[in-house]
């Protein structure tokens, strides 16, 4: 990997991290099942995504990569949610 590729990868990872942190902040204020439902819908959408101009093999590859990327990003959001949940004191009822 050359220096420009490394810079681009790190910039992309930084953007992903920031977006996931912000989304975790939003999901933190909702019931956890909302996050789980949206995650499941996103994966389902990725599996059904079509790619105009791509042949069947490419479409399968693109779809699998998209699904993997979405799952990884939702995994990052989940980590942020789990960490913030551990830091919050339990509520008394």
pLDDT band at 84 (very low <50, low <70, confident <90, very high): confident
Rounded to two decimals, the pTM is 0.82
Cα 76 from Cα 10, distance rounded (Å): 16
| CA neighbor of 85 nearest in space, from 19, 14, 31, 20 | 31
Report CA torsion sign: 56, 61, 65, 67.
positive
> Contact 69/16 with Cβ under 8 angstroms?
no
Q: What is the pLDDT of residues 42-82, one digit of tens each?
A: 999 998 888 999 999 999 999 999 999 999 999 999 999 99
Confidence check: pLDDT of 93 > 50: no
> Contact 73/22 with Cβ under 8 angstroms?
no
Q: What is the pLDDT of residues 6-28, one digit of tens each?
A: 999 999 999 999 999 999 999 99
């Amino acid at each position: 990997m050359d220096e420009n590729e490394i810079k681009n990868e790190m910039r992309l990872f930084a953007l992903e991290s920031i977006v996931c942190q912000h989304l975790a902040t939003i999901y933190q204020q909702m019931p956890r099942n909302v996050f789980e439902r949206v995650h499941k819908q996103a994966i389902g959408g990725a599996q059904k995504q079509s790619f105009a101009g791509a042949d069947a093999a490419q479409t399968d590859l693109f779809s699998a990569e998209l699904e993997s990327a979405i799952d990884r990003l939702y995994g990052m959001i989940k980590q942020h949610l789990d960490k913030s949940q551990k830091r919050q004191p339990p509520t008394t009822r």
